[in-house]
Homo-oligomer: A and B are copies of this chain.
Amino acid sequence: MYTIGQVADMFGLPVSTLRYYDKQGLFPELERTSGIRRFGDTELEALRVIECLKKAGMEIKDIRLFMEWCAEGPSTYPKRKAMFEERKAHIESEIANMNRALDMLKFKCWYYEQAIQDGNEDRVKALIPDNLPEEIKDTYDNAHAR
């Protein structure tokens, strides 16, 4: 059994965050001795799950929901799977978006590299082909391939 301060040190989290998680119902089994929180294995495991699911961009209310489903037993396997499938699809589309943004940024870096060399944007502007430079300028590769 650990105090809140010990757990905070173990996980590198502020004490206030742990109290906040508790308030959000993320430690439903948490015990207290004369008002003081006592963190046991259940809570440490819960914290590991929380850290993991937060990395996947899950909101606290969803994490709580997931934990409730875990407590309910095997009948909630499909719900839990559906939650992760939905998260997976979401993350995949976010990754795709970020890759598009990344192409744009690569283009911008290349563009300013040229502009710095030339002292103006005239040549680099002329280099951009008119055919593909719409929104997402992955024009970088095109321009770069010259």
Contact = CB atoms under 8 A, between A and B. Distances in A.
Interface in A41-74: 52, 55-57, 74
Contact of A112 (B84, B105, B135): B84
A101 B135 contact: no
Given A74-B115, A109-B81, A112-B80, A57 B88 contact: no
A94 B87 contact: no
The interface residues of chain A, by DSSP majority, are classed as helix
Contacts of A88: 102, 105-106, 109
B105 A98 contact: no
Nearest to A109: B84
Interface residues of A, number: 36
A92 B115 CA distance: 24
Nearest to A54: B101
Interface of A: 52, 55-57, 74, 77-78, 80-81, 84-85, 87-88, 91-92, 94-95, 97-102, 104-106, 108-109, 112-113, 115-116, 119-121, 135
